[in-house]
Structure 1
Amino acid sequence: MKLHTIESTNDYLKLMSLNKSVEDFTVIVANRQTKGRGQLGSKWKTEDGKNLTYSVFIDTSFISLDKQFYLNCAVSVSLFNVLKKLMLPNLKIKWPNDILSDNYKICGILIENIVKNVNTTQSIIGVGLNVNQLQFEYKKASSLKKLTGIHYSLDEILILLITELKSQVDRLRTYDFKLIESDFKNELFRLNKPSTFQTPNKEVFIGIIKDVTDTGKLQVLLEDEEVKEFGLKEVKLLY
């Protein structure tokens, strides 16, 4: 479903799912989002009609709540695979769920779960992909067109993205968790490289990303040789 202007595709789809039965892989696409957001409430600002801002409804009742990290892996890998086919340079998956190209952010992901009961979970996958926009307030943001010089059809790219997402979710349905996790980790930004991190208190420290746990926490080797785990709200990777 294509909409011209709404506050948030995730919120729109969430409200739909609460009021009626929603078909698996229902997609809501907005030409303009007035309150698009990313992780931790950050705002996702884009120029109207030049990018893809969309949300996908998925019945994830086949994944237990303690394995939701694998859904994050599958979504990230699906986006990575499509962008790789489009020849975007130096692609990486940045923890927890951004896609970078040449160290520029081109895509952000926001996954929100709706728990109906103990055995029923539904997920709304929100994606913001910079496609044809050329000017950005955020200096570390870029787009497909800016990086490749090619003007893209938003509809054609969306079809590629949804097709690949379905393929990766099918892998989840066959409980191919570890291979999907491996695909995610193999493309992890700054893996095994000294990196700079910042805490919510603005404290900065150096560490080396060693792994991501099955619950999605980042494992960082610190200068004292201690490996510490950080959750989503506990650390920010500076680059």
Structure 2
Amino acid sequence: MRIVKLNAIDSTNSYLKTLYNTESIDDYTAVLAENQTKGRGQMGAVWDSEASKNLTFSMFKELHDYKLEEAFYVSIVTSLAIIKTLKTLSIPKLSVKWPNDILSADKKICGVLIENVIKQAINASIIGIGLNVNQVVFKNLPKASSLKLISGKHFDIDELVITIINNLKGYFLLLKDEKYDVLKNEYESYLFRKNKPSTFKNAEGIMFSGFIKSVSNSGKLQVLLEDDILKEYDLKEITLLY
């Protein structure tokens, strides 16, 4: 397991992508930054993290030997590895807010950004993980929390990254063995607000109600609407309000 530690970098995903394009790197190589100045989240969002207090890292995963039918299974594996890690730390009420935000109760503690390297197929993934660990103040972020705020304990960031990578290895083995149903069923068991009446906003800003039921193999959210209509939504098409 190779871990590159940096004092400061704009984005660990960008750094790892450049590394991949300029040299041969080993599977599960990770880049860990004490201070990430331009961390990126889903759909261009900025991941704001206090220096030296949180886990911000990216990991390279080779996927040549995987019969990967859908890229979303990389997201499933990543979400499950993070949840397994946090369960060992006794972090309560864990869930996945689709597609891969990790919550404790209704507070976001972890975000994921996956960038796939695609040639003729998915050759590799760069998995970026931002986990709020020892930060206790989140200005203008009422839905953010951290492991320390939740548990009252201080955590070793180096130990956390090793545990997450080891759990990723375990779940990627299941993916390599094509255990798609096992992975998808476990992921759906953690879906935030699954089978609960929820309010959503579509791309036009119109609000509507529905029940989150499941996720398609391609990663679309399946929502039960009025008149028993099951509709699928892509990430840009829907926002869960909570």
Matched, 1:128 2:130: yes
Matched, 1:57 2:60: yes
Unaligned runs of 5+ in 1: none
Give distance in 2, aligned partners of 1:225 and 1:232: 22
Q: What is the SS of the residue equivalent to 1:224? A: helix
Give distance in 2, aligned partners of 1:214 and 1:119: 17
In 1, are the aligned partners of 2:68 and 2:122 still within 8 Å (CA)?
A: no
Give distance in 2, aligned partners of 1:7 and 1:199: 32
Q: What is the SS of the residue equivalent to 2:46? A: coil
- Residue among 132, 146, 151 paired with 1:148: 151
Q: CA deviation at 1:4?
A: 0.8
Aligned residue in 1 for 2:225: 222
Give distance in 2, aligned partners of 1:95 and 1:196: 14
Residues 109-188 of structure 1 mapped to structure 2, 5 A cutoff = 109-115=112-118, 117-119=119-121, 121-137=123-139, 138-188=141-191
Matched, 1:207 2:210: yes
Q: CA deviation at 1:224?
A: 3.2
Q: CA deviation at 1:178?
A: 1.2
**Normalized against structure 2, the TM-score is what?**
0.95
In 1, are the aligned partners of 2:71 and 2:122 still within 8 Å (CA)?
A: no
Q: CA deviation at 1:202?
A: 1.8
Give distance in 2, aligned partners of 1:37 and 1:202: 24
**Normalized against structure 1, the TM-score is what?**
0.96
Counterpart of 1:209 in structure 2: which amino acid?
Answer: I
Counterpart of 2:138 in structure 1: which amino acid?
Answer: F
Aligned residue in 2 for 1:86: 89
Give the count of matched residue pairs.
Answer: 238
RMSD across aligned positions (CA):
1.1
Aligned residue in 1 for 2:33: 30
* Identity fraction in percent: 47
Q: What is the SS of the residue equivalent to 1:233? A: helix
1:173-201 CA distance string (max 9 Å, x none): 11111101111011111111111111222
